[in-house]
Amino acid sequence: MYITLIFLGLIMATIITWLLRQTFNTQPWVTEAADDAVSGTSLDTNTKAVALTVFLAVATSVFALFISAYTIRMEAPDWRPIAEPTLLWANTVILVLASVAYHWTRNAAVKGIESRVRPGLTVSGALTVLFLLGQLVAWRQLNAAGYYLDLNPANAFFYLLTAVHGLHMLGGLWVWARSTMKVWTGADSDSVRLSIELCTVYWHFLLLVWIVLFGMLLST
């Protein structure tokens, strides 16, 4: 559980430090004109960006807990490591490219370069779908090689972790599909700019998670 504790420790420390900074040196019982002028918005950013940040904290918690469970279960004598398919390297590269493509699209949307948004979104989505298909193929390869889900916890964890990561990816694709539909039906990039910006963050996050998971799978 150390890994979870470290991740959650960092998250909680950030929250607590921030909250304490808001609350030290205040005397709420004194009516101060300076306080009256304070707007009720704590963070100088979009509401949806705040919600995404909170959601990323939740997702971090989920993955950290899976990783903790993995490291604890790994120590039992029945653990037989699997030989990860080489295909996973190719999938990783595709996911990196998807992230890069999303970032490129984001830059275009922010700068208002309309011509780059449509192809950018299309390429990002296509690469992501390709990644997911690649993961499915990796499953089939493992299954064909006799690494069945119920044969060993190492196998089970492989299918489980990749599935959970893939499901998060699918959730992202849902939002991607909505903004892509909008753009293809003629909306200007400004109306989807926020969605693209937030998706970019989400794609980078899931890339980071995948690299951590892949590294863990490879090294154990």
The stretch near other proteins (CB under 8 A) out of 45-53, 86-94, 176-184, 202-210 is 45-53
Binding letters toward other proteins, positions 60-99, x by CB under 8 A: -xx--xx--x--xx--xxxx--------------------
Q: Does 202 bind other proteins (CB under 8 A)?
A: no
Nearest partner of 25 among 38, 15, 39, 35, judged by Cα: 35
Q: Does 115 bind other proteins (CB under 8 A)?
A: no
Q: Does 170 bind other proteins (CB under 8 A)?
A: no
User: From the CB of 212, what's the least distance to other proteins, in Å?
Assistant: 16
User: From the CB of 157, what's the least distance to other proteins, in Å?
Assistant: 8
d(C-alpha 102, C-alpha 6), whole Å: 30
Residue 129 in contact with residue 122, Cβ under 8 Å? no
Residue 154 in contact with residue 70, Cβ under 8 Å? no
Identity of the residue, 67 or 101, whose beta carbon is nearer to other proteins in the bound complex: 67
Q: Does 8 bind other proteins (CB under 8 A)?
A: yes
d(C-alpha 153, C-alpha 140), whole Å: 18
Long-range contacts from 100-105, C-beta under 8 angstroms, 24+ separation: 101/127, 102/196, 102/199, 102/200, 102/203, 102/204, 103/200, 103/204, 105/196, 105/200
The stretch near other proteins (CB under 8 A) out of 10-18, 98-106, 119-127, 203-211 is 10-18
Q: What tokens were used for 47? A: 């509401």
Residue 120 in contact with residue 101, Cβ under 8 Å? yes
Number of residues that bind other proteins (CB under 8 A): 52
Interface residue list for other proteins (CB under 8 A): 1, 4-5, 8-9, 11-12, 15-16, 19-20, 22-23, 26, 28-29, 31, 35-43, 46-48, 50-51, 54-55, 57-58, 61-62, 65-66, 69, 72-73, 76-79, 149-150, 153, 156, 160, 164
